[in-house]
């Protein structure tokens, strides 16, 4: 029996400003509805989503009157262990993403947020975020006991650190803007407007929370190439599409339920920290394990 009635995959973008169109793609399917690309509300006049529009759309599909949905978001749903206190002077995952969201709301772009964090006097010019000009600077991680990679990223080829904002893959931009959007959704939940849980930070397994919607982290590079990309014409659309098709097939075959049971890794662990505690703070990529 399938765990979900609807599947949504978002290929996120951390570029630009919140209300400007960016290379963000959405794909969705239902138990009785075929996979399709979802276009922004101003389509066809505007073909690209803004992050603000995507936030509003996600809020609508995560309301209590909607069929049970799994939403896969292509950005890190957490930061390396110790980032809460070591970087943001907060305690725990929830307080950490609120701190990031507050900074993003104040400064307006992911780059500005990272630059402000890096200028913290505690770091003496060696903050956690890496740009091209400081990408070889390792001093922050050694001096403050916060890793460059999360545990899950030590096991995934092609993985990029959530602190990296240089040329090429820029996971840091995705993570700052994405965690800000996630904070906004959680704030709406706390106000009673939506209902979901974030895995694994807020639930050990979707079976534990009944019919509640579930938000998970995806990483398109790890999923197999489908036989067809259907209507997709861009790489961002193709990334959203292959995550979507993987979730649908895994659920139909009964394999998705096992994806929420990651096996403890014997490496990359923080001393004195349980595997479960570390994963509940840092997050995990759906389908690894």
Place of tokens 């909607």: 66
Task: Quote the number of domains for the chain.
Answer: 1
Q: Write the pLDDT tens digit of every residue in 30-56.
A: 988 899 999 999 898 889 999 999 999
Q: Under 8 Å CB-to-CB from 131, ≥6 apart: which residues?
A: 114, 165, 166
Neighbours of 30 (CB within 10 A): 16
Q: Please compute the mean of the pLDDT values over residues 263-287 and round it to a whole number.
A: 95
Tell me whether residue 67 is in a domain.
yes
Neighbours of 272 (CB within 10 A): 6
In this predicted structure, the answer to whether residue 221 has a pLDDT above a threshold of 90 is yes
Quickly state the pLDDT bin for 76 (edges 50, 70, 90). Answer: very high
pLDDT of amino acid 276: 96
In this predicted structure, the answer to whether residue 1 has a pLDDT above a threshold of 90 is no
Domain limits for position 209: 6-77+200-282
Tell me whether residue 240 is in a domain.
yes
Tell me whether residue 214 is in a domain.
yes
Tell me whether residue 109 is in a domain.
no
Tell me whether residue 114 is in a domain.
no
Tokens linked to 41: 């509300």
Tell me whether residue 1 is in a domain.
no
In contact, 98 and 229? CB cutoff 8 Å? no
Q: Please compute the mean of the pLDDT values over residues 243-262 and round it to a whole number.
A: 96
Q: Write the pLDDT tens digit of every residue in 136-188.
A: 999 999 999 999 999 999 999 999 999 999 998 789 999 999 999 999 999 99
Tell me whether residue 155 is in a domain.
no
Tell me whether residue 192 is in a domain.
no
């Amino acid at each position: 029996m399938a765990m979900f009635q609807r599947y949504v995959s978002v290929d996120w973008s951390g570029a630009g400003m919140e209300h400007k169109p960016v290379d963000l793609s959405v794909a969705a399917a239902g138990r009785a509805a075929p996979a399709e690309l979802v276009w922004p509300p101003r389509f066809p006049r505007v073909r690209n989503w803004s992050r603000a529009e995507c936030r509003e759309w996600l809020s609508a599909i995560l309301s209590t009157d909607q069929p049970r949905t799994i939403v896969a978001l292509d950005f890190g749903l957490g930061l390396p262990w110790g980032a809460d206190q070591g970087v943001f002077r907060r305690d725990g995952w929830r307080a950490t993403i609120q701190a990031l969201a507050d900074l993003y709301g104040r400064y307006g772009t992911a780059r500005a947020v990272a630059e402000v964090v890096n200028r913290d006097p505690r770091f003496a010019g060696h903050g956690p975020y890496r740009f091209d000009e400081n990408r070889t600077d390792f001093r922050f991680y050694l001096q403050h006991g916060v890793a460059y990679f999360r545990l899950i990223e030590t096991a995934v080829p092609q993985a990029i650190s959530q602190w990296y904002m240089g040329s090429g893959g820029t996971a840091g931009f995705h993570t700052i803007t994405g965690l800000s959007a996630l904070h906004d959704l959680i704030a709406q939940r706390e106000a009673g407007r939506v209902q979901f849980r974030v895995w694994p930070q807020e639930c050990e397994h979707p079976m534990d929370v009944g019919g509640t919607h579930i938000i998970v982290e995806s990483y398109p590079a790890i999923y197999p190439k489908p036989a067809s990309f259907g209507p997709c014409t861009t790489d961002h659309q193709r990334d959203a599409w292959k995550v979507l098709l993987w979730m649908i097939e895994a659920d139909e075959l009964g394999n998705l339920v096992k994806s929420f049971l990651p096996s403890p890794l014997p490496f990359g662990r923080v001393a004195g920290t349980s595997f479960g505690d570390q994963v509940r703070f840092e997050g995990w990529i759906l389908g690894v394990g």
